[in-house]
Amino acid sequence: MSYDHLSSQIAKTGFVLENRIAQALKGAKWTVISNRYYVDDAEESIREIDLVAYRASRVQHFDVYTTLIISCKKSEPNVWALLARDIDLKDPNSDWQPLHAWSNDKALEFQLSGSTFAKRYHEGVAALGVDGVLQTPAVEVFAFQEMNKTSGSPQNDKNIFAAVTSLMKAQAYELGALAQRRKTPAVYQFNLLSIVDADLIRLMFQGQAIGATPIDAEHYIARYIIKKRETFSRIRFLRAEAFANFLPDYSNLHAANCRWFDSECNAFYQDIAKDTKRLEVLIDDFRKEVSWDIRWPLIHKGKEAPDSSSISLYWNDQRGSLQVFAPFGADGAELLNNTPRALTRVASVLQSVYRYNGPFEFEDDDIPF
């Protein structure tokens, strides 16, 4: 009995497309995970995303991951029509340049938390040569339809909507799971791709006219409620036959990500001694390393040693030095300032934790603010 008909029938499904995209990614040195499962937070059900691909590189003390979450769809009888209109980049209710990134490194996490980070990120990687993959949308896609390629009759938006929502939910799941899964320092930047093996058409609404234009790619900013919070995400629709042309741009994005997060890490440590907020980000690491070396000389001389939690840092403009302060008492501070072992150890930890090599001294915490 011949089973050749099975091959011809499976070719009509989206699995052939999924495999083709996976092989192209692997050929471009991306690591690929097929059929990754995640939990739908709304329905508490197990769902599947077709492909997750990533590039990873070591930068300084952390790893940079550029991640692609990919939905693959095939539509033989239909085209995918994206309904668009002129974009209003000043719309206060939209975010045309969303960024989804995560880090467990304290320095990068602080940088990511800034209100202007997404804007700076897009400007920064653009300056490094990244263009199409993260460009501001040229139009506002406000709806979509599958339409019969022969008759033009609208079908529905079920498959397109499913691709968009699955991508956003998979991204939300991955972002939420990283804190438990990733223990060594890293930063992740996510990109969502909806790849369709069908014609991709922009239907542009301008006044009473509607113009139809075949396209290879389109940026769509999706708005969705995930875990009871409104979320904006960039979905990039790509025609399958054109995917190979766009793939090098994502490799360039990874290279730019490495350079960008490298510079952001350096920016965090630049003049950190004069910034109380940044000093506080790493203060627990500093306390953990120096507590005993500060407390022991005081205990050894019969003086009261402060709790580790009371040890802090601040910059003294008048003295031009970093102050290590706690309730040492005047005598305790003088003792520590004349204890070579304590001075050497604190200097070493200031360098390893804060990358600070400048002057410092111990001071009792009775300081004016």
User: In this model, does residue 359 exceed pLDDT 60?
Assistant: yes
Q: What is the pTM of this model?
A: 0.91
Q: For residues 273 and 69, what is the distance between their CA atoms, to the nearest angstrom?
A: 40
User: In this model, does residue 217 exceed pLDDT 90?
Assistant: yes
CB 265 within 8 Å of CB 107: yes
Q: Per the structure block, which two tokens stand in for 354?
A: 């804060």
What pLDDT score was predicted for residue 212? 96
CATH of 273-364 given 1.10.8, 3.30.300, 3.40.50, 3.10.450? 3.30.300
User: In this model, does residue 144 exceed pLDDT 50?
Assistant: yes
Among candidates 103, 111, 101, 60, which has minimal Cα distance to 281? 111
How many C-beta neighbours within 10 Å does residue 238 have?
Answer: 21
pLDDT in tens, 304-319: 899 999 999 999 999 9
CB 220 within 8 Å of CB 196: no
Output the CA–CA distances (angstroms, integers) from residue 22 to 11, 30, 67, in the order listed: 16, 9, 14
Residues 6+ positions from 28 with CB-CB distance below 8 Å? 247, 248, 251
Least confident of 2-11, 45-54, 222-231: 2-11
Torsion of CA 354, 360, 361, 366, to 10 degrees: -70
**Residue ranges of the chain that CATH labels 3.30.300:** 273-364
Residues 6+ positions from 63 with CB-CB distance below 8 Å? 56, 57, 184, 185, 186, 187
